Every structure is written in C-alpha cells, then in structure tokens.
Amino acid sequence: MRYVSTRGQAPVLDFEAAMLTGLARDGGLYLPERIPQMAPAEIAALAGLPYEEAALRVMRPYIGDAFSDAEFEAIIARAYAGFNHVARAPLVQLGPNHHLLELFHGPTLAFKDFAMQLIGQLFEAALSRSGTRVCIVGATSGDTGSAAIEAFRGLDMVDVFILYPQGRVSEVQRRQMTTPSEANVHAIAVEGHFDDCQARVKDMFNDFAFRDAVNLAGVNSINWARVLAQVVYYFTSAAALGAPHREVSFTVPTGNFGDVFAGYIAKRMGLPVSRLVVATNQNDILHRCLTSGEYRPDGVAPSISPSMDIQVSSNFERALFEAYGRDGRAVAQLMDELKSGGFSVSQGALQALREAFDSGRCDEDETRAAIRRTWDTTGELLCPHGAVGVHVAETHLVPEVPMITLATAHPAKFPAAVEEASGQHPPLPSHMADLYDRKERVTEAANDLGVIQQIIRERIGQ
C-alpha cells in the first residue's frame, strides 16, 4: 500500500514511513493511493467478533508488508489491553432509533486512546527493529496530549513533547499530562490557543534542519495511522446494528475532522453509511463552510467542549483533497489562501463535500440542555462533546436509519460542566481516583518557535 500527500509534491511512502513522518514534507497529509474495499460478506462477518479481531480485518489491507499478520495481531492486542470495557467500544441505546457509541473506556477516558494506544505500539515495534530514536512533538486541545503521553510514557525509543494552551484545558486533562513521572515525557504549557500550539508544531515540521536534527515524528490527528485506527469502530458499531443489510448514520462531535474523516473512509471502503453528520460547538467554522462554501477562521471562543475549540481543522484538508478529485495543486493553493485569511470552496467541490457530509452546530446552552435531557430520559451522563453530538443528531434522525452518535469522552473528564448541567457529579473510574493527589510537572513557554525548539533541544541533549 502506497501513501500520497494531499499537496501532491512529497515523496510517495509506504505505511511505516507515512506513520513515522506524520506530516508530509510538502506540508500535506498522507492518504492511501487507493482505498481498499470490504465486501458485504466480510462486513457481515464482523458482527459479534472481539474488537481486536475486527480491528485486524479492517486495518490489515492498509499495513502492506510493514508487519506480519502475527506481529500486527500482537500489536493490536497490546494496544487495547488497557481498556476498561471488554467490548472496547460498546453501544448504548438512547431512543428508538438513536444509539450512543461509548468511546471513552480507554486509559485517558477519550476516544483518542483508540488511535494513540495503537500508534504507541506501532512506533515501538518499528523503532526497536531499526534502532532509531525519535522525538514526538504534538499539539493538543486536551485529549490528544494526555492520550499520547499515556501511550508513549516509559518507551525506550521515544521522547514525547506535548504543547497545550495554558489555562484552556480541563483540570483532569492537564493532570493527565503533567503527572506522569517518566523522564521521556514533557508537558509544555504555551501562552496561547490550541491553534497557536498546532501552528508551532507545523512550524517545527517545516523547519527541515530542526526536523532532521531531533528526528521529529508527529502523532497528531493528521497522522494517517490514527485515522486508520478510528475506522474500525465505525465498522464494529454498524455491523452490530445490522450492516451491511441495513444502512446506518453517524453523528460525530468534530474539531480537527480526524474522527469524522475515519467515518468517511469506512464508507468509501464499502460500509453502507447513509449520512455522516459533522457536529460542531459554537466554534462552527466547519458547519459554516459546509453551508456556505466559505472557510474563514474568525477567532476561537472558549467553550465547555474545549477539545472542539478549533478554527483551523487540520484533517479537513483530506476531505478537500477528495472533494477536488485528488488535485494536490488545488489543495496547496487553498492552503496558501488560508494563510492570508481564508478560502472559498469551488462549486463542484462544495457539492462533493455536501454529498459526503451533513453538519450542525450546538451552542453552549444547547449543550447543557442536551446533557440534562439525556440524563433525565436515559440515565446516561454525557460529556459536553458527546452532548454536542446528541443535540445535532436529534435534528438529523430519520425513522428507517439507525443513528449512532459518538460519545468521545467520559463525563468525568469535564466534571464542572457536567455537574452544572445535570446536577450529577461524574466520578472518575477507580483506576484514576488518585489523579488529584499526584505531583504535577510542567514547562511554561511563550508562543514562540525559537523558545520551544530550544526547550526540546536541551531536553534531548541536541
């Protein structure tokens, strides 16, 4: 399997190289040259399988010869062993035709664990084979960073640096990043927003001298291996509800567009998905773009669903690449225009995007109301991100097609907002009960590329 960049100018890579590099050298994102197909009988056969077995079948065609079947099977087994639910991604029914896919039973209580735990094991296997040490640098609005630190802490071949916007992540998220004591883990609090953190990481990848000197590797949601890991639960949940014999729809609380893009890949592989609904909070650039064709960032307003407080949605570039008929030049041009304020999607591409995605937005009051209403009617306590999904999903329900809304984080990750909305205090699962007592360790940094690069060089002795 070969991987190409969304900007068309970077070298074509195999799975292992695309995974280890993250961002392509032309600034683009890697995608498989061709999307493998799953036949209806293969999809039907996923129903009732252990999650790990389904994961092997869905992901195998993308791996090429990077790992043998036995190696890949062992990698998957280790990745999901630390989950707290035997089903890994259980479905819960919310209404006659509405289901919640609980993706928060991993070690850091958010869906990011599905991808990050897998990528930790993939990196370890690939790097120990080649004897290479890498420096993983990532930006987080909260959940990616904790998931990355949890996945890479204590590994021999990896240093992990996570940039998060100071004061803009929840206390649980911050503590999950600052309390691990392993020497290869570095949490950096940046004075700025998530988009600043993400921009500094992109800058580091575009500084080729630095990139090569520290052996930079990226595990942000742009990394293809992360998108791939997320494709699996679209298949398992749809198969559980009767696919391929009946269609299902999904509503996905969306920020960087990685999760919903995984749903798009599942559909392209042959999963009968009726609608994929992009749910945004008040930071609704994706909803506005899918409605009007105009992609113009206008600042971030902090919300109670902070992991979706995003204006530059990095994986949207992959959707644009597909909508523009895989024209890397056109995508590179749009990304250039974005640097000077924004871009307009062409009529043809907008039509293609709208065929693939519906969208909706949910403001702060609506988010709180969805938490309260869902608690009152089902006894299910939603985190604010899942609540954004449920609110938007409710406006997209149709009688004959089951809707699956992705619950992307555990309510205990956002206790203040959940308690305010529902009157219920969501307790942390018992394995994390002492989180508030653990010692924190963090480095503060200005929103400045040179300052951050210096910290990294010092820490790894370069």
Ligand X SMILES: *Cc1c(COP(=O)(O)O)cnc(C)c1O
Residue 5 contacts ligand X per CB under 6 A? no
Cα(233)–Cα(430) distance, rounded to whole angstroms?
A: 25
- Between 28 and 255, name the residue whose CB sits nearer to ligand X: 255
Cα(162)–Cα(182) distance, rounded to whole angstroms?
A: 14
Q: Reading across the β-sheet that carries 403-407, which strands appear in turn? A: 91-95, 98-102, 403-407, 248-253, 273-280, 358-361
Strand-pairing partners, residue 30, are 5
Residue 256 contacts ligand X per CB under 6 A? yes
Total residues at interface with ligand X (CB under 6 A) = 16
Cα(88)–Cα(85) distance, rounded to whole angstroms?
A: 5
- The CA–CA distances, whole Å, from 370 to 78, 169, 286, 439 equal 36, 22, 21, 35
Part in contact with ligand X (CB under 6 A); list of ranges 180-188, 235-243, 253-261, 337-345: 253-261
Sequence letter at residue 78: R
* Contact of 227 with 262, CB cutoff 8 Å: yes
Least distance from C-beta 309 to ligand X, angstroms?
10
3-state secondary structure of 405: strand
Q: Say whether 202 is catalytic.
A: no
Least distance from C-beta 146 to ligand X, angstroms?
9
Show the site string, 336-375: x = touches ligand X by CB under 6 A, - = not: ----------------------------------------
Residue 385 contacts ligand X per CB under 6 A? yes
223, 408, 422, 453: which one contacts ligand X (CB under 6 A)?
A: 408
38, 46, 101, 110: which one contacts ligand X (CB under 6 A)?
A: 110
98, 112, 361, 368: which one contacts ligand X (CB under 6 A)?
A: 112
DSSP-derived secondary structure for 130-177: HT--EEEEEE-SSHHHHHHHHHHTT-TTEEEEEEEETT-S-HHHHHHH
- Between 4 and 417, name the residue whose CB sits nearer to ligand X: 417
CA neighbor of 231 nearest in space, from 57, 1, 410: 57
Residue 254 contacts ligand X per CB under 6 A? yes
Q: Is residue 391 within a helix (H) or strand (E), and if so which, with residue range? A: helix 384-394
307, 405, 422, 453: which one contacts ligand X (CB under 6 A)?
A: 307
138, 165, 255, 402: which one contacts ligand X (CB under 6 A)?
A: 255
124, 143, 195, 284: which one contacts ligand X (CB under 6 A)?
A: 143
In the complex, which residues of this chain contact ligand X (CB under 6 A)? 110, 112, 143, 221, 253-259, 307-308, 385, 408-409
- Residues with catalytic annotation? 112
